[in-house]
Amino acid sequence: MQVGSCWFDRERGLLVEQARNESWHLPRAELQVLSLLVEHQGKLVSKHELKTGDGEHPPLTDTSLARAVFMIRSFLGPQYEGLIETVKGQGYLLHSTQGQRLKSFHYHRLQSLPWWSALLVFGFMLAISGFYLSRIDHSVPTEPLLSTELPLASGQHIRLHLYANSKTNNTLLFELGDRLGQGLSRCGQSDWSEVYSSLSHDKQVLNITLRGHKLGQSVIRNLKISDFRRPKTFIDENWLQEIGICG
């Protein structure tokens, strides 16, 4: 009878490892256990049955049984030791092949679980995955519609950024950006290093934010212009000079 890579000769009480050509004359406990497992291959053999054997000899103790199983598994080697499965609290089971062992192993494990627990675990995993996916931040920072660098006579540069919530219909914003850029370029020098500008979504309010440094301090100036004239000019050269756009 083949058990893993070994040949079991029940009559002679021998277990032969064919690859190594090594034989083991099985002691009584090991022979009794392996004989019963082989006899009931693929089925669970209770501890009591394994300990009692055929009843001709005194029954094995729990320790002897566990030791016998350990010794057989050791001889079968790491590749096949799993053929003998311990079914906790019940007994042992000898599988015919490793694949069948695995299949049977899962089957037994799954059988021992209440059916709703698998459903609950699945639900948990689904909920956690859903929560995790919902927390992933797909947002990307808003980029300016246009960024330009304005050189001043002093050699200084001012960066002008225009922001819009749409990439279309921004003619007025570009026009105002040009006008603002020209106004800033006329400054010989300026306290400002960055200028941010946007038109409100209904094109009623022009926002200009100027940021820079003065006497080592960070300075910010916000201008919000509402224009109700037709056409809307919002800003012009005179007006920019009047409000002191250069800082």
CB distance 23 to 15 below 8 Å:
yes
What the block records as the tokens of 40 is: 């009931």
Least distance (Å) between residue 138 CB and other proteins = 8
Binding flag, residue 132, other proteins (CB under 8 A): no
Token pair for 216? 């080592």
Do 177 and 146 contact (CB within 8 A), yes or no? yes
User: 151: part of which helix (H) or strand (E)?
Assistant: strand 146-151
Separation between Cα atoms, residue 155 and residue 132, nearest integer Å: 51
Stretch of residues binding other proteins (CB under 8 A), selected from 18-26, 45-53, 74-82, 134-142: 134-142
Site track 135-174 with other proteins (rule: CB under 8 A), x = hit: --xxxxxx--------------------xxx---------
Binding segment for other proteins among 22-30, 51-59, 85-93, 195-203 (CB under 8 A)?
195-203
Query: Residue 205 interacts with other proteins (CB under 8 A)?
Result: yes
Nearest residue (CB) to other proteins, 99 versus 141: 141
Q: Tell me the C-alpha distance between 224 and 200, whole Å.
A: 10
Distance, CA of 54 to CA of 18 (rounded, Å) = 29
Residues found near other proteins in the complex (CB under 8 A): 112-114, 117, 120-121, 124, 128, 131, 137-142, 163-165, 194, 196-202, 204-205, 207-211, 218, 220-230, 233-234, 243
